[in-house]
C-alpha cells in the first residue's frame, strides 16, 4: 500500500450544474428537449441496451429520458444535497447559476430567483463548504438564443450585464467564480460544428464566431467582476442594477473587496499522436483547438484554470503507436479511460503559470463497480503532477448526484449519490464513502 499525502489546504468536493439537477428550467435546452424527445426515444429502439440501463427509470426507450423535467429536483432539495456533501467531508462545492432564471426576459432581472441562489450559497457556507460558482454551463435564456446566442456580436454585452447583476449580489459571500464551462472545448463544437446540441448548426464559420464571442465575453466579464470587487459599496450605485441586500450572512475572508478569483473551466482530453512528422503536426493542431484555444486566447485574463478531465481521445493519427488500446471503457459514454492522461494534461497546463482546480473528473457507473478505482487512479496521477510542480489546489468529483446528461438524458449515472428519479430519493453509493475517507484524511492510500 502506498500513501499519497496531498498539500495542506487542498480542497475536496464535487460539482453539479443547474440545468442538470435543478428541475423546471425554461431555457433553450428545455425547448429543444421537448421537440426532440420523441424522435430520440424512437431511435433508441434501434440499439441493443444492456439490462442495467433498461431497468433504470427513465430508460432510453422512454421519451421522458430525454426531458430534463424535474431533474433531481435540487431546486427544492439543495439543503438535503448539501447535508450529504458535508457528511462526505467535502469542503468545496461547484454549482452553476441558471441565467434563464435570473434574466427570464431581456433586461428583466428576477430578484426572487437571485434570492434563491443567495440562499443556496448560505446553505453551503453554513455547512463549512466553500462555493465555487459557474456562471454559464451550456444553457441560454430563450430570448438570448432567439437573438442568435453567442453568434450575436452583442452577446458579450448581454452576458456581462447578467454576470454583473449576479456578482454584485454575491460578492461578499463568494470568492471563486468560473465564467464559462467547456464553452470552446465542448459546447461550440457540439452546437455549431457537429449539430449535436441546440441549435444544431454545422457551420465552421459560425463555430469560429461563437468561440471568438465567448472569449470576448469572458474577458469583459473578468474585468467587470474585478471591478465590482474593487468598488466600495457607495460606488456600486453607478451600476445599472442594484445589488440585493442580505446582511445577515458574514462575509467570507477571501472574498473581501480585493480578493476574488475568476477562472475558466475547460474540458481537456489526452490526445496521443504517432511519431511521424505528419502525425505530430496534426497532433499539435488538434491539441491546440481541443485543449488550449480558450486558455491561450483569454490569457492573462483568468486567475485559475478549471480542468475537466475524463478520457483519452483517439482523433490524432498514430495514437495507438504511443498508447496501446486500453481495456477500460466508460461504456455509457463510449469513452476510453486513461488515468495517466490527467498527469499529461496537467503538465501541459503548467506553462500558463496559473493555479489549477480539477473542476470535473468522474465516471458513469450506475452499479458503482469501478467508481472507487476510477477516483483513486486519477488522484494518484494528480498527486504525481503536484510533485512535478503543477499547482493543483483542489479536486471536485463530477458529480455529486446522478443527473440529466444532456443529449443522453438520464442514461449515464455519474453520481456519488444515486438518485431515484421517480421519488427523488438520494442514496449514497459505497464509492462515495471511500472518497469521503480520502477527503477527510487529505490522503490517498492505494
**Using the rule CB under 6 A, is 360 a contact of ligand IFM?**
yes
Nearer to ligand IFM by Cβ, of 179 and 308: the residue is 308
101/103 Cα distance (integer angstroms): 6
Contact string 178-197 vs ligand IFM (x = CB under 6 A): ----x---------------
Least distance from C-beta 90 to ligand IFM, angstroms?
18
Least distance from C-beta 50 to ligand IFM, angstroms?
19
Q: Print burial letters for 305-337: b (CB count within 10 Å at least 16), e (below 16).
A: bbbbbbbbbbebbbbeeebeeeebebebbebbb
244/111 Cα distance (integer angstroms): 8
Q: Which of residues 247-306 bind ligand IFM (CB under 6 A)?
A: 267
Residue 322 near residue 273 (C-beta atoms within 8 A): yes
Length, in residues, of the chain = 446
Task: Please name the residue ranges forming H helices in 151-273.
Answer: 155-170, 188, 204-230
Nearer to ligand IFM by Cβ, of 162 and 309: the residue is 309
Nearer to ligand IFM by Cβ, of 103 and 182: the residue is 182
Cell numbers linked to 113 = 430567483
Which residue, among 185, 183, 21, 28, has the nearest Cα to 97 in the 3D structure? 21
**Using the rule CB under 6 A, is 398 a contact of ligand IFM?**
yes
Residue with cell 490569457: 299
255/35 Cα distance (integer angstroms): 42
Residue 34 near residue 40 (C-beta atoms within 8 A): no
Q: Any bridge partners for residue 270, and if so which?
A: 312
**Using the rule CB under 6 A, is 17 a contact of ligand IFM?**
yes
Nearer to ligand IFM by Cβ, of 175 and 412: the residue is 412
Nearer to ligand IFM by Cβ, of 25 and 267: the residue is 267
**Using the rule CB under 6 A, is 405 a contact of ligand IFM?**
yes
Least distance from C-beta 148 to ligand IFM, angstroms?
23
Contact string 22-41 vs ligand IFM (x = CB under 6 A): --------------------
Contact string 295-334 vs ligand IFM (x = CB under 6 A): -------------x--------------------------
Nearer to ligand IFM by Cβ, of 95 and 165: the residue is 95
Q: Which residues sit at the interface with ligand IFM, rule CB under 6 A?
A: 17, 20, 182, 267, 308, 360, 398, 405
Amino acid at each position: 500500500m502506498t500513501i499519497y499525502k496531498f498539500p495542506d489546504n487542498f480542497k475536496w468536493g464535487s460539482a453539479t450544474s443547474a440545468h442538470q439537477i435543478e428541475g423546471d428550467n425554461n431555457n433553450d435546452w428545455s425547448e429543444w428537449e421537448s421537440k426532440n424527445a420523441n424522435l430520440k426515444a424512437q431511435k433508441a429502439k434501434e440499439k441493443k441496451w444492456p439490462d442495467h440501463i433498461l431497468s433504470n427509470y427513465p430508460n432510453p426507450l422512454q421519451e421522458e429520458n430525454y426531458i430534463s423535467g424535474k431533474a433531481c429536483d435540487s431546486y427544492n432539495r439543495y439543503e438535503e444535497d448539501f447535508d450529504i456533501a458535508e457528511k462526505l467531508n467535502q469542503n468545496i462545492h461547484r454549482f452553476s447559476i441558471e441565467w434563464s432564471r435570473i434574466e427570464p426576459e431581456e433586461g428583466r432581472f428576477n430578484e426572487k430567483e437571485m434570492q434563491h441562489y443567495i440562499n443556496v450559497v448560505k446553505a453551503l457556507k453554513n455547512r463549512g463548504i466553500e462555493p465555487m460558482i459557474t456562471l454559464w454551463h451550456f444553457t441560454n435564456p430563450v430570448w438570448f438564443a432567439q437573438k442568435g446566442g453567442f453568434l450575436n456580436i452583442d452577446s458579450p454585452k448581454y452576458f456581462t450585464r447578467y454576470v454583473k447583476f449576479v456578482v454584485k449580489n454575491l460578492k461578499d459571500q463568494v470568492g471563486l467564480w468560473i465564467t464559462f464551462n467547456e464553452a470552446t472545448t465542448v459546447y461550440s463544437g457540439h452546437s455549431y460544428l457537429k449539430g449535436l446540441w441546440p441549435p444544431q448548426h454545422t457551420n465552421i464559420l459560425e463555430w469560429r464566431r461563437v468561440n471568438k464571442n465567448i472569449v470576448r465575453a469572458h474577458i469583459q466579464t473578468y474585468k467587470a467582476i474585478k471591478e465590482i470587487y474593487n468598488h466600495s459599496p457607495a460606488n456600486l450605485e453607478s451600476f445599472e442594477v442594484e445589488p440585493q441586500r442580505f446582511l445577515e450572512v458574514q462575509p467570507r475572508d477571501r472574498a473581501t473587496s480585493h480578493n476574488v478569483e475568476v477562472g475558466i473551466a475547460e474540458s481537456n482530453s489526452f490526445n496521443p499522436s504517432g511519431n511521424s512528422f505528419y502525425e505530430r503536426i496534426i497532433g499539435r493542431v488538434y491539441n491546440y483547438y481541443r485543449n488550449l484555444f480558450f486558455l491561450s486566447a483569454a490569457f492573462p485574463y483568468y486567475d485559475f484554470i478549471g480542468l475537466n478531465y475524463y478520457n483519452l481521445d483517439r482523433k490524432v493519427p498514430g495514437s495507438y503507436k504511443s498508447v496501446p488500446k486500453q481495456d477500460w471503457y466508460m461504456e455509457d459514454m463510449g469513452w476510453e479511460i486513461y488515468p495517466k492522461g490527467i498527469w499529461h494534461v496537467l503538465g501541459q497546463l503548467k506553462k500558463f503559470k496559473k493555479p489549477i482546480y480539477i473542476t470535473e473528473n468522474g465516471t458513469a457507473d450506475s452499479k458503482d463497480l469501478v467508481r472507487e478505482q476510477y477516483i483513486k487512479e486519477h488522484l494518484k496521477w494528480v498527486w504525481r503532477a503536484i510533485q512535478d510542480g503543477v499547482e493543483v489546489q483542489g479536486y471536485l468529483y463530477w458529480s455529486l448526484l446522478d443527473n440529466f446528461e444532456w443529449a443522453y438524458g438520464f442514461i449515464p449515472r455519474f453520481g456519488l449519490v444515486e438518485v431515484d428519479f421517480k421519488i427523488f430519493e438520494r442514496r449514497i453509493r459505497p464509492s462515495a464513502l471511500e472518497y469521503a475517507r480520502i477527503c477527510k484524511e487529505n490522503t490517498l492510500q492505494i
